[in-house]
Chain A
Amino acid sequence: MIVLERVTQTFEGPAGAFTAVRDVGFSVAPGRFVSLVGPSGCGKSTLLGLIAGLTPVSEGRIALGGRAVGGGVPPNIGYLFQRDALLPWKTALQNVALPLVIRGVPSADARERALAWMKRVGLAGFEGYYPHQLSGGMRKRVSLATTLIYEPAVLLMDEPFSALDVQTRNLMENELLDLWAETRNTVLFVTHDLEEAIALSDEVVVLTASPGRVKASYPIPLARPRNVIEIRFREEFTRLYERIWKDLRDEVLTGYAQATKA
């Protein structure tokens, strides 16, 4: 369970204090997949950083599973970064096993479980490869395995597939849904792509242009299991897309005007 109450975040910038998000409040029930959409620069990634305890919150309250976040990284969360965060000096297998090694799992055991996860993300045979020897899609799969192997209760994802080409991206989205159907973590997925948000989520939260506030929240009553490639052609999908887009469009235009004025 993720709960945000009146969260405001300000940063000291070169041009004085800058408010990234203002009075943000929403919650994600256990086992739900919620997406956060908004124009670029609206503070989506900032929110993830706050929930993960990487940056201290200026105002408001964030709680994970009933425990307030503050003073460091909360236990049992996973974070899939937009940029690759695999350690370049470790092989794919060593990267996947690292969270277990950190938890003190005996190395033979960690290795075995990492091997199983490499297989699960379709990378059997690539265990000994270093990150730079893998394609962008493969690196994402390794990152995904690295994050899921320790079964975090909460999974934060920051535009994880935005750097991939469209085909690879759709395949990865399907794989993510398949894996999630088994693990059922609580997921907060940040994206600027509304199609992706609707196709994946149980609920889509729209943020306003900077400083980000919650503009509206939409349940997505599409049946699972879903195929993200085909679901886009369904009439329900199009209707949802149109409704949410009307909200999002104004914010995107405002965000664009802000960015070009600056």
Chain B
Amino acid sequence: MKSSPDTRKPRKPEPGRLLAARAGLFLALAVVWEVGARTGVIDPYFVSRPTRIAQTIAGWFAGGFIYSHIWATVHEAVLGLALGILSGVVVGVLFAFSPFLSSLLQPLMVVLNATPRIVLAPLFIVWLGIGLASKVAMVVSLVFFIIFFSTYAGLRDVDVNLINHVRVMGGSRRDLMRHVLLPSALTWLFASLRSCVGFAVIGAILGEYLGADRGIGWIVQYGESLFDSNMVLSGLIVLMAFVTVLDVSLGWVERRFSHWKQQAL
């Protein structure tokens, strides 16, 4: 049989060229911004300049100012993430194995999940103070629901065919748990883990922005209170770099643990 070229799928660009194009685009944007700010086409008071931002950030790292703030944000996000995942998995498993509990509490979960977390932030600060605890609570309130819903769905929507297959070959409840339910739930968990990390950082930053004495969110808020757009933008860029590093490393972990899955493209 003669193979015919696939005309439907557009060809993927080579990785090297793609990287160069991305860098070029990024650089071009920075140049337009820099030139625009220097010639006064755009007001540097509001948007600063790439070189000034770079200087500020370099100064933060060189002077050691930034480390305690990054650490604060990481600390809040990681602690909240761990607690959120743990509680989400536990409640998800309870829901999946207790129809009574799930019917009883399902409406509550939906209402709580629909509540915008930003209205909870002031409450958390009033209840738990401006320190670590209120930020962790914020992160947990975001992460818990994502993990809870995916654990519940992962355990409930397991292919019946797979369960019967293992039952017929003599599998006990424990075997079902170990070989079918858990792996199925884990794939759902991994799929949602990446968005959880994003939400954990958002929660920590939001908490810091609304009331804290340290953290990247606090830097942004502090810069804003001084009308210092350079500080705000520098804080944002540190934040973006931080989230990017996290996301890339998580993508790597995810690929390692879901190698059995078929890629869509």
Contact = CB atoms under 8 A, between A and B. Distances in A.
B7 interface: no
Contacts of A81: 161, 164-165
A90 B259 CA distance: 10
Nearest to A149: B169
Task: Bin chain B's interface residue count.
Answer: 20 to 34
A47 to B, nearest CB: 15
B237 to A, nearest CB: 40
Given A132-B260, A132-B261, A132-B262, A87 B179 contact: yes
Contact of A85 (B162, B170, B172, B260): B162
A91 B170 CA distance: 20
A85 B161 contact: yes
Interface in A101-134: 102-103, 130, 132
A132 B169 CA distance: 22
A132 to B, nearest CB: 4
Contact of B167 (A73, A78, A83, A150): A73
A146 interface: yes
B262 A98 contact: no
Contact of B171 (A76, A83, A88, A102): A102
A28 B187 CA distance: 42
A90 B168 CA distance: 18
Contacts of B261: 88, 132
A233 interface: no
A78 B168 contact: yes
Interface in A55-87: 73, 75-79, 81, 83-87
A150 B260 CA distance: 25
B260 A146 contact: no
Contacts of B179: 87, 90, 98, 102
Contacts of B175: 102
B162 A150 contact: no
Contacts of B260: 88-91, 130, 132
Given A83-B161, A89-B183, A89-B260, A54 B169 contact: no
B168 A77 contact: yes
Contacts, number: 62
B82 interface: no
A151 to B, nearest CB: 12
Contacts of B78: none
B48 to A, nearest CB: 49
Contacts of A78: 168-169
Contacts of B161: 81, 83-85
A98 B167 CA distance: 12
Contacts of A89: 183, 187, 260
Contact of B170 (A88, A130, A150): A150
A85 B180 CA distance: 11
B176 to A, nearest CB: 10
B236 interface: no
Interface of A: 52, 54, 73, 75-79, 81, 83-91, 98-99, 102-103, 130, 132, 146-147, 150
19 contacts: A54-B168, A73-B168, A73-B170, A75-B170, A76-B170, A78-B169, A83-B161, A85-B161, A86-B165, A87-B179, A98-B169, A98-B179, A99-B169, A102-B172, A103-B170, A132-B260, A132-B261, A147-B169, A150-B169
Given A52-B164, A91-B260, 20 more contacts: A54-B164, A54-B168, A77-B168, A78-B169, A79-B165, A79-B168, A81-B164, A81-B165, A83-B161, A84-B161, A85-B165, A88-B260, A90-B260, A98-B166, A99-B170, A102-B166, A102-B179, A130-B259, A132-B261, A150-B170
